[in-house]
Amino acid sequence: MVDWPTSIKEPAEVNEMLLTNRFKTKPEAAYVQITKKFTRTKKKFELVWSKSHNTLITDEKEILEEFIKQNFSNIITWANPNDGKIYNVVFEEDSHEFNIVHKRNMSRGIPGFWQAKVNLEEV
């Protein structure tokens, strides 16, 4: 297991989704039958660094990109800033979104600013 990097600021938003994991069937008589696939529910998290709040500076974006490259298949220990709970998660998708908001200007000492979206899934 690896820890989420503390050098990256908290996202502006953490959206949570509860996964109920069930089988749903419709037999001939039009009755619906629902059974559990698994014995526990899990959560998915969408971490958003937005254009208007908590954009990543270029250094943080590069740290996050490198963290993803090094740990795309590892279990990650992550603290949810919404409730402070610790979750064991993995990256949900193979692609992660980074969009430039303002380009870096080294001669003026201005860092670049990025918005980003990363999806995590509880294991």
Under DSSP, is residue 123 helix (H, G, I), strand (E, B) or coil? coil
**pLDDT number for residue 107:** 78
Average pLDDT, the chain: 90
Instruction: Render pLDDT for 54-90 as a digit per residue (tens, 0 to 9).
Output: 899 999 999 999 999 999 999 999 999 999 999 999 9
Task: State the amino acid at position 55 in one-letter form.
Answer: T
Handedness of CA 83, 118, 53, 60 (dihedral sign): positive
Q: Nearest CA to 75 among 89, 95, 92, 94?
A: 89
Greater confidence, 111 or 118? Answer: 118
Strand partners, 14: 47
Q: How do beta strands 86-91 and 76-79 pair? A: antiparallel
